[in-house]
Amino acid sequence: MSIVLSSCAINRKVSYDNLKMDLSAVKAESLGVALLDHRPSVVKGRRKPSLTGYMRSCAGIPYPMSTTTGCNFIDEIAINMTESLNRSNTKATKVSTNFKQDENTVKQNLFNSESEKKIFIVFRELHTDGYGIQFLYYDFDVSVFDNSNKTIAFKQFHEKRKLGGNAAITNGRYKEYMPKAIVKLFEDVLNDTAILDALNN
């Protein structure tokens, strides 16, 4: 996973390709994974699904960042998550989603996957922004279902995390801390006590 950053009219690349999620605490034998991009700016067509956030110019003008592949940012996270789970001996199956789909449609597709457990994440917000100091903004719901498709865990995640940089040194080592922040966020989500308990029991 990688993104393109634009700041002061200069394109910059930040790669996620060498960063892998540590999801070894998840012990479910099989897991269906569905991540749905319902960020308003994407759903309303103001931004493409490849949006990852913004970098500010020297004058504070926001420039959109996007995945270098041009693919849906949320979908790239789902791929990373699924591959990380498979490396940890959980047979994970990614369910394809599209930002134009409603939650019930995606949920039904998830239920049709032959997995012991299912995890469904619906995003209302996920992007980086900041002038000098960079922040990660996120707002999403996580649902976990058992093999009979009953909800066994539900939790909302809504926060602003400081990533790095400051007004004096601008964005600093953003090529390191921005990709790591995305990976850390989803490690935290799948290692959350309530979510992990539902996945493992």
- Using DSSP bridges, classify how beta strands 151-164 and 10-15 pair: parallel, antiparallel or unpaired: unpaired
Q: What is the DSSP string of 37-48?
A: E--HHHHTTSS-
Residues 117, 32: contact at Cβ < 8 Å? yes
pLDDT beyond 90 at 66: no
Single-letter amino acid code for the residue at 52: T
Half-sphere exposure of 116 (CA within 13 A, CB side): 13
What's the CA gap between 30 and 74, in Å, rounded? 21
Phi and psi torsions of 137, nearest 5°: -105, 130
Residues 6+ away with beta carbon under 8 Å from 5: 11, 12, 13, 14, 55, 63, 65, 174
Please give the backbone phi and psi of residue 140, each rounded to the nearest 5 degrees, phi first: -155, 160
Pair 126, 63: CB distance under 8 Å: no
Residues 123-173 have pLDDT tens digits of 999 998 887 778 899 999 999 999 999 999 999 999 999 887 665 545 556
User: What pLDDT is recorded for position 68?
Assistant: 75
The yes-or-no verdict on residue 3 having pLDDT over 90 is no
Distance CA 72, CA 31 (A): 21
User: For residues 184 and 176, is the Cβ–Cβ distance under 8 A?
Assistant: no
- Cβ-contact 129, 119 below 8 angstroms: no
Of 111, 95, 82, nearest in space to 21 by CA: 82
CA 47-51-52 angle, to 5 degrees, is: 150
pTM of the entire structure? 0.87
Q: In this predicted structure, what is the pLDDT of residue 190?
A: 96
Looking at residue 191, its amino acid is N
